[in-house]
Amino acid sequence: MANQIHDLRSAIEFLKQHENQIVYTNSEVDCEAEISGIYRYVGAGGTVMRPTKIGPAMLFNHVKDYEHSKVLIGLFASRERVGLMLGCEPDRLGFLLNDALNHPVDPIEIPQAKAKCQEVVHLSTDEGFDIRKILPAPKNTLEDAGPYITMGLCYASDPDTKAGDITIHRLCLQSKDELTMFFTPGVRHIDAFRKKAEGNQNNLPISISIGVDPAIYVTSCFEPPATPLGFNELSIAGGLRGKPVELTKCLTIDEMAIANAEYVIEGELVFGQRMREDINTNTGKAMPEFPGYTGVADQALPVIKVKAITHRKNPIMQTCIGPSEEHVNLAGIPTEASILNMVERAMPGRVLNVYAHSSGGGKYLAILQFKKSIPSDEGRQRQAALVAFSAFPELKHVILVDEDVDIFDSNDVLWALTTRYQGDLDTVFIPGVRCHPLDPSSSNLYHPSILSTGIACKTIYDCTVPFIQKERFKRSSFKEVNLSDYDIKPLK
């Protein structure tokens, strides 16, 4: 049962009970792009370059130069597996998170003596301290700017209100005690906290927890307006599990961390300090991002000065491939919940389900299943799409389909696009709107009419049947049978 999961290790034990959900290797592997190179073929999926596939998570038990550490990749790289770990059917995950959003349970603090994340302590003042030798952080590709922490849950607090927030960010290991931190412009709460601290010429204490209960990872990916500034996403994880997330005080900074994390990095975002992301490689590239392309190295990123690293005995480093199905589920399921939340409030009962599609990395493309019940529902489907854009500002495209289309079956969605859509009649363009800077087509390098990076034309593809013609577009109806009544065997 999913209720037996309370940390990363219990999640792994749980998956062992289910066929083809987790595999391992005892062969020695190198963090220098080899882990991602292997997992691409095992189960990466998403927008990773083909060939790839949806498959099991993978545990690497023998990592070169890290004798006592393991690396886990792909925990969330299957919607089915996410459903198993959260105790929910895969196609209802958006509804599950929406319910947790509406029934939050605030985190609690436990004593440091009970915090498993502090079983082993490395202080930056220790002789020979080097985060690169403690953390088996992989490179996704050989041209990455450096080793990256891709599953680091960054926790910081508002300098004024002390309200905490948790988010996943792109973190690159740059020196023995420095990380760079990438912020998507304008949408991250911790970035707002950093700017407040810098406005007062102060550093911002920050902890980075790696390897926790899967419920915490999924709920940490909610974004405004579903979770406005001051809303702690850990309370959604508490609502999801029906019990509070346990935090503990850090050892060297005035901040909290997740008490049962495999690793915790303690540090400060340093006032006024910036660093070029590829300072060690000069490739001009960062790492593969969710749209399927390698991101451009940022020229001036905020810097975290590391004060300490704590971890459990024999820790497990959790990581992911940037463009994999893992990102799709981590980003996409909260996106679905946010859209369901806002659309249901605006027009109850009309949107039956939402899927943040894999090809959009869980962010750019949403399929909305809309039911027209009365003549006056005509046109409301497009209003629902507009609400979806408001619910998740980084969304670029919305495809609207009827209730008889399976939104999780891309062939069925494309069938609706082919037989229930006319480009000149059923397309709504909303040009010049802020979307996401990692979309390479949202740049004036793509077209001079695009004013700045991250500006896009949001588009609605209305593949719903006009209400007055629903009978004409009725799908062929087949006889219902029970397959268990038939003795079906493979032909040999």
Catalytic residues, which ones?
A: 289
19 Cβ contact partners less than 8 Å away, ≥ 6 residues apart? none
Please give the Cα distance from 378 to 160 (Å, whole number): 47
3-state SS string over 445-470? CCCCCCCCCCEEEEEEEECCCCHHHC
Tokens 């886990």, located at residue: 72
Quote the tokens at residue 185: 């412009």
Measured CA to CA, the distance from residue 358 to residue 94 in angstroms comes to 15
**Contact, 304 vs 206, CB < 8 A?**
yes
Q: DSSP of 271-328, one letter per residue? A: EEEEE-TTTTT--SEEEE-TTSSEEEPPSSEEEEEEEEEEE-SS-EEEE--TTSHHHH
Tokens for 23, please give them: 């595999």
Distance CA 182, CA 285 (A): 13
Tokens of residue 453, six digits: 């990076």
Residues 6+ apart with CB under 8 A from 130: 176, 177
Angle separating helix axes 8-16 and 79-86, nearest 10 degrees:
110
Say if residues 172 and 179 touch (Cβ distance below 8 Å).
yes
Classified as helix, coil or strand, 54 is coil
d(CA 351, CA 88): 20
CA dist., res. 409 & res. 401, Å (int) = 12
